[in-house]
Structure 1
Amino acid sequence: MKKLSVPQIQWSTVRFLRCKLLDIPTAQVLWKRRDGRYKIFKDSITTTMLAAQSKRCAYCGTRLFEKRPHRDHIAPKSPHYRWTFWPANLVLACYCCNVDCKGETDTVAAAASSYRRTTFSIVHPFFDDPADHLNFGVADRAILISPKNGSAKGAETIRLFNLMDPERAKERAKDVLLDDDIQHLQGVTRDLFIAATEELRSNRIVMKT
């Protein structure tokens, strides 16, 4: 998981789409449209975020193999329909994180008049640095994730996305062993990455929950 930059989408397009959002049912219908500015906006989000996220899930960091990866609304369309087409509310996520784990869970802890001032219960991909909320470490040949300094956001992110599930932990181990693009692993220091790689390559991998 890494902190992302908000995609630069043409403001006239965003403003046009936001003006159409009257209520939750309208937002649900408009989001499904595949024509005109709706298609341009969604295609732009996908193209921009695939590059920004290194083709990895914004939440768990696993590779996005889908031809059309899921565009996830960090704050769900229901009840937060006014942010349906807000660039800072959209990331790409794997099926497991988007559907199996998050679903329609409301991640807003306290809504505000603006999106930027809204408080979220999870580590926000654009507003929070994962390194402030999550600890990534190696112990007894295991890759561990834990809340940093008792971070409530860190704990909720780990719980909601089931980040310490054994199968998900194995995927992280495979990344450490096989992948070279470690920029997506913000929150993991380079020294920890090197230590993990050396330890996992020289020992039998044991994943702990």
Structure 2
Amino acid sequence: MKKLKVPAYDWRVVKELKRYALTTKAKDPWGHGKSSSKAFKREMTKLMLVEQSKRCGYCGCRLFEKRPHRDHIAPKEDYQQWMFWPENLVLSCFTCNTDLKKSFDPVVTMGSTYRLTEFSFVHPYIDTPTDHIDFTSGDLELIIQEKNGSLKGKKTIEIFDLASVERSKQRAKDIMHDDDVEHLQGDYRELLENAIEALQKKLVKVKARFPRPGD
């Protein structure tokens, strides 16, 4: 998990789509919108895939789906004004979006703007995960727990089942095939950096012993 940057998008289009979402008589403006809304969804998906390095915005695991889920952080059914708001959209894995979060409403207190709205779990764009969640090592495991009693951290771990054995196994598999360490936190990052450094030293020794012709 890492704090994400909101993908840059033409705010004139965003404001136009906001008006559309609030005034249209269409039953499903998100799923069956007009050409500009369909173009917005396609472009946002491309931008988010780059910003998120093809990782779930909630649990940090790899997105293997050909068409990753575009999740509305605040449900579009309840907050139509944010249906096409870039800051309210994130790509998520099937487990986080469909099995765990479902239609959960994380809005605790509505603010005068989206940024001033209070959310119950760690928001991918607004919050820094390490302010709320600790990744620490035990004797034989990496422990995930809320930091300094953070209610946001606790809710995030609970909603997305981050401390479960199966989800931990998935993160471990990702680490073994990963090189974008900025997505990793605490001991995960340190372990990977140490492993990469050790491997590089070993490769240097191997090359010294068995130089290729022309080296």
Question: TM-score under structure 1 normalisation?
Answer: 0.86
- Mapped to 2, the partners of 1:170 and 1:145 lie a distance apart of 13
Runs of 4+ in structure 1 deviating by more than 6 angstroms, as ranges, are 195-198
SS at 2:46 equivalent: helix
Gaps of 5+ in 1: 199-209
Is 1:152 matched with 2:162? no
Give the aligned residue type for 2:11: W
Gaps of 5+ in 2: 198-215
* Aligned residue-pair number: 197
Aligned to 1:164: 163
- Mapped to 1, the partners of 2:163 and 2:133 lie a distance apart of 12
Counterparts in 2 of 1:191 and 1:173: CA distance versus 1, 3 Å: same
Aligned to 2:60: 61
Aligned to 1:2: 2
Is 1:91 matched with 2:90? yes
- Mapped to 2, the partners of 1:11 and 1:100 lie a distance apart of 32
SS at 2:63 equivalent: coil
Aligned to 2:15: 15
Q: Is the 8 A contact 2:54 2:63 kept in 1?
A: yes
Q: Is the 8 A contact 2:181 2:193 kept in 1?
A: no
Greater shift in the superposed pair: 40-49 or 26-35: 26-35
Q: Is the 8 A contact 1:27 1:81 kept in 2?
A: no
Question: TM-score under structure 2 normalisation?
Answer: 0.84
CA shift for structure 1 position 28: 5.9
Give the aligned residue type for 2:139: D
- Mapped to 1, the partners of 2:57 and 2:14 lie a distance apart of 22
Aligned to 2:72: 73
Q: Bigger relative contact order, structure 1 or 2, given CA contacts below 8 A and separation 6+?
A: 1
SS at 1:38 equivalent: helix
Identity of aligned residues (%): 51
- Mapped to 1, the partners of 2:103 and 2:88 lie a distance apart of 14
Counterparts in 2 of 1:193 and 1:138: CA distance versus 1, 3 Å: farther
Give the aligned residue type for 1:18: K
Give the aligned residue type for 1:170: K
Q: Is the 8 A contact 1:27 1:77 kept in 2?
A: no
Deviations 1:27-85 (A, max 9, x none): 86110026511111101110001011110100111111111100001111121111000
RMSD: 2.2
- Mapped to 1, the partners of 2:5 and 2:82 lie a distance apart of 17
- Mapped to 1, the partners of 2:25 and 2:31 lie a distance apart of 10
SS at 1:158 equivalent: helix
Q: Is the 8 A contact 2:135 2:185 kept in 1?
A: no
Aligned to 1:117: 116
